[in-house]
Chain A
Amino acid sequence: MSGISYSEILKLVAPEMLVSLAALAVLAIDLLVMREAPQRYRFWTGAAFAGLGCGLAIAWLLAMNPPPHSMSAGLSLLQGTYADDVLVRLVKVALLVMTLFTLAISMESNFTDHIGEYLALILLATVGMMFLVSSENLLMVFISLELTSLSLYILTAFNKRNVESAEAALKYFLFGGMSAAFTLFGLSLVYGLAGSIQFSEIYSKLHAAKIDTLLLAAIVMTVIGFGFKIAAVPFHLWAPDAYQGAPTPSAAFIASGSKVASFFIFAKLMMQAFAGAEGNGAWRHFTPGWLPVVATVAACSMLLGNLAAIVQGNVKRLLAYSAIAHAGYALLGLLSNSQQGMSSLIYYIVTYGLTVLGAFGVVAIVEERTGDASISSFAGLGRRQPLLGLCMMVFMLSLAGIPPLAGFFGKFYLFTAAIGAGKDMGMLWLVIFAIAMSAVSLYYYLQVLKQIYVVPAVEDSRPIVVPVSSRIILSLLALVVVVLGCAPELLLGRLITAIKLASHQ
């Protein structure tokens, strides 16, 4: 291994480099120069640098042609470590956009004095997610997953004045640590059985072999680890507490960016490395493999998420249970186990991430002005701040899956992909169940809207003042949700081409 060109590697990972450099810059500037400056000023400076880093990374990802799979020195070195194709780049752009929005909705909340650290950790978590999306072997998956998780634990605990923030972080951490141990154990078994940690080699080793119980145990343990990251039942216990206790922007980030990255790599791992160990999840045709395992997890998530969301009195907790339910729907894309399934999964989870960012953005403002995020503090929002109420309506209806919003089309496409998958519509039972459950979900989303538009504000009915910047950002998010719902080809077309391209390589 002589003559490795490190500059080639640097060029290859330039987007990640840009974001981490931005993180270091933000950290250094805030600590060295801005210590004494007023908070608002510090935040704006830091966010400007962070935004610049993300912006440059997005520009790089969009402008540079993905390298052809030739064997230049740097590439062959990272072969089987770092994937870089059109699909990966698209997902990374989506992640960076979500990071930008997270930065934007953090502007209004002042839960911490450690602004430099806060911004830097958000950026470094993004770096972890970007590497996660690019992973092509188990070691990369494990390391980047841990980088993301550690940053998120700390972001959850960021509000040091608040007891709940620390408690949420501890619970998140303990469940996360346990699931990391499960993942590592599962990965060790995969390594032992396949003799390699690269997705492609695992596939070529395992797809021919018959599925023995040890492989099944390895797969189940890996699913446990990822089930935790995507908050699927029964590994969801941390989610409601973490969402409720974490500072709202951190919760938004956990619900959007981290979800997108984890879902993407989960699907990639299952569809690429464990292809051939699917088994069968069709009704009455269960054969062992990862499909029946994931199908069970999906069904439980939809059931429990939707039913538990009904009784929640806190909007952040409600969004947490709805996130669990949405993880259940999104798993349908994985269960389709096809290119169409993959594109529907990515479309769904990206639009979900954007919607939930917006919803948390509204919650952040309401929480800041009224003091808590209980559902009753939204009462009369439609009159007190019409724009905010309208945005929240768009987000809630999109989450419920009402046409013509993005959430509707996402679900529609997801369910179509799942019905078409397998022989004789084997996934039909789960799709029917999912449709029934989305009908249930309509109830609790409408509860929130009822508070906003029907119930009058209790005592204080003065208008809520919202700065222009927040209005622009939330309207922008709402607009994106509407546009992606009306013209899904904008994103979906690119996704389908990218997936076709990626599969040819």
Chain B
Amino acid sequence: MSDYLFYIFAALTVICGALVIINKNPINSAMFLVLSIASMAGLFVLLHAFFLAAVQVLVYAGAVMVLFLFVIMLLDLKEEQRRKINTFGAVTGVASVAAIGYVFYQSIRNTPLPNAVAHSEGDTVVLGKLLFTDYVLPFEILSILLLVAMVGVILLSKKDLK
């Protein structure tokens, strides 16, 4: 059963991801990103990372994507005009992406990987405890990072009065 779910969610994520980058209308792109991220949360559930699945939906699909949509609407972005394809960029881009994909495919196929499936669940209580013990330093650095982001965003998006 969970095998089929994997295929379904994986297909949904990639198809929506592809639609994100093909779509001309920025709003549609953003909506497909929401779908892609939500089906990714499904994959997290299959991997028994329940807390992270919830975070993924709340933070990504919720907060971050609302921010994206808000900015897209604020700037009132229209559909991109018929794109003049930058041939050089497109060719090198597609070539490098294909090369990267191929390298990954080959190397993942050829590398012996661990296959023991854990019986541990990502327990929220344990995560919380870890966050304030083993990971307290990164946690504090992250709080500084959020402060920086906050100061920066206010500063950059505010209109100067004079």
Contact = CB atoms under 8 A, between A and B. Distances in A.
Contact of A150 (B133, B136, B149): B149
B144 A20 contact: yes
Contacts of B152: 121, 150-151, 153-154
Interface residues of A, number: 44
Interface in B49-104: 103-104
Interface stretch (A103-111, A139-147, A315-323, A467-475): A139-147
Nearest to B161: A113
Interface string A116-129: 01001100110110
Interface stretch (A75-83, A241-249, A333-341): A75-83
A404 to B, nearest CB: 41
A146 B114 CA distance: 30
Contacts of B45: none
A77 B134 contact: yes
Contact of B155 (A117, A127, A161, A216): A117
Contacts of A1: 129, 133-134
B155 A114 contact: yes
A157 interface: yes
B107 interface: yes
A143 B135 CA distance: 12
Contact of A140 (B113, B138, B144): B138
B6 to A, nearest CB: 18
Contacts of A140: 137-138, 141
A4 interface: yes
A27 B136 contact: no
A192 B137 CA distance: 23
Interface string B130-159: 000111111001101101110110011000
Contacts, number: 89
Interface of B is mostly: helix
B108 interface: yes
B151 A27 contact: yes
Contacts of A402: none
A217 B104 contact: yes
A160 B160 contact: yes
Nearest to B145: A147
Contacts of B103: 213, 217
Contacts of B145: 128, 143, 146-147, 150
Contacts of A20: 144
B106 interface: yes
B151 A121 contact: yes
A164 to B, nearest CB: 15
B115 interface: no
A150 B138 contact: no
B120 interface: no
A36 interface: no
A4 B130 CA distance: 12
6 contacts: A4-B133, A81-B134, A147-B141, A150-B152, A154-B151, A217-B107
- Enumerate the 9 nearest inter-chain pairs by beta-carbon distance, A residue then B residue, closest first: A213-B107, A154-B152, A214-B111, A214-B107, A1-B133, A147-B145, A212-B111, A143-B141, A143-B138
